[in-house]
Amino acid sequence: MSAVYINSASCISVQDTLNENILQNLHPENSSNILKAIEPIYKEFIPPAMIRRMSKTVKMSSVASHYALKEAGIEQPDAIIVGTGMGCSQDSEKFLKNVIDNHEEFLTPTFFIQSTHNTVAGQIALGLQCHAYNFTYVNTSSSLEFSLLDAQLQINDGEAENVLAGSTDEQTDRIMELYLLNNTIKKETDLPADYLNSTTNGVIWGEGASFFVVGKDKTENSYAKLKNIQINNKVELNEAQDFIRNFLAQNSLSTGDVDAVILGFSGDADSDIYYTKAMDIFPDSAQLYYKHLSGEFNTASGFSTFIACHILKEQHIPEIMMINSQKKDNLNNVLLYNHLGGNDHSLVLLERV
């Protein structure tokens, strides 16, 4: 499959990622077990009457996609592809509460209509009056990777030249309560979290939306070349290194050709051992981590892809992300490795343009 280009990148996250000098203004977050995204002033982008009817994930995605399209100079993408793990959770909760409170009678359909996972892609298309290919992937932690893979396929097959692809996930009070009860989220007593050498289970939960314009051709704004993506639902711990090596071999690379590897250390002792295994085969690469900046959530890899794009474009690695002391004069190949709780492993290979 031919490589495509990431021609713009936009992100709403726990960090102030909509402003300039992003790599210089990253701050770790490890003392709270639930992190909220820094949201823009929505009324500057969305009519007030519409804002009231939009869930947080729809609002974040509308603004992030607006920035991505504007940066790429694209008014109408040839496709809109969105990945999400939890979808419009707020409206889903409102609908279910309505069902219970009204004893399953006299229900208004609004919350149900807006609770479906493809609401985000649909709302973006409605805002743009875009009638092109519109698709949503719901594949937990590899939702963004499936969206990018589909974008690459659309371009390679000649179906599209510029694709808006992105990911989004929001928090809701009830789901956060459930995650605390089943120990998905760290207990208060386990804070502050040690992301790299954790002895406790559970993660710090975040949220956010990341959008990219993936194009057939390189432009003056291009961030990176999207070389290849590999997704595996299950990888045994003793297979992790071969999983990575085989992927690199498919792209005519060895581990020594990777200038920086970005690992999804989440502070969960049980599942982070995959990343520890991966570190062993990259002794000469810059080893980075990022979830102390974004929190863990289904599409946290959107944040790492956004940061990787800036690292390649600016040729600068933030100190706050470094695990080891390896520094490269030229950053040409960046590998992203992510999973969620030991499942849905993904590898994304980006190359400097």
Kindly state whether residues 148 and 201 are assigned to the same domain: yes
**End of a domain among 215, 233, 251?**
215
Kindly state whether residues 188 and 256 are assigned to the same domain: no
Residue 251 confidence (pLDDT) = 97
Residue 84 confidence (pLDDT) = 96
pLDDT digits (tens, 9 = 90+) for 84-101: 999 887 778 787 888 888
Residue 175 confidence (pLDDT) = 92
Residue 152 confidence (pLDDT) = 98
- pLDDT at residue 110 greater than cutoff 80: no
Kindly state whether residues 121 and 257 are assigned to the same domain: no
Residue 73 confidence (pLDDT) = 96
Kindly state whether residues 198 and 262 are assigned to the same domain: no
pLDDT digits (tens, 9 = 90+) for 155-200: 999 999 999 999 999 999 899 999 999 999 999 999 999 999 999 9
**End of a domain among 168, 197, 215?**
215
Kindly state whether residues 209 and 253 are assigned to the same domain: no
Q: Which structural domain, as residue segments, surrounds residue 274?
A: 224-351
19 and 40 in contact (C-beta within 8 Å)? no
pLDDT-derived band at 105 (thresholds 50, 70, 90) equals confident
- pLDDT at residue 207 greater than cutoff 90: yes
Kindly state whether residues 68 and 153 are assigned to the same domain: yes
Residue 95 belongs to domain with CATH number: 3.40.47.10
Kindly state whether residues 169 and 288 are assigned to the same domain: no
**End of a domain among 215, 248, 277?**
215
The pLDDT > 90 percentage for the chain reads 84
Kindly state whether residues 176 and 282 are assigned to the same domain: no
Kindly state whether residues 34 and 120 are assigned to the same domain: yes
- pLDDT at residue 328 greater than cutoff 90: no
Give the predicted TM-score (pTM) of the model.
Answer: 0.95
Closest Cα to residue 132, out of 121, 147, 117? 121
Kindly state whether residues 108 and 193 are assigned to the same domain: yes
Cis peptide before 192 (omega within 30 of 0): yes
Please indicate whether residue 264 or residue 20 has the higher confidence score (pLDDT).
Answer: 264
pLDDT-derived band at 35 (thresholds 50, 70, 90) equals very high
Print the SS3 string covering 197-260.
CCCCCCECECCEEEEEEEECCCCCCCCEEEEEEEEECCCCHHHHHHHHHHHHHHCCCCHHHCCE
Residue 209 confidence (pLDDT) = 98
Kindly state whether residues 39 and 141 are assigned to the same domain: yes
Kindly state whether residues 185 and 329 are assigned to the same domain: no
Q: Which residues contact 322 (CB under 8 A, 6 or more apart)?
A: 286, 287, 288
Cα end-to-end distance, the chain, whole Å: 18
List beta partners, residue 208.
169
Tally of domains within the chain: 2
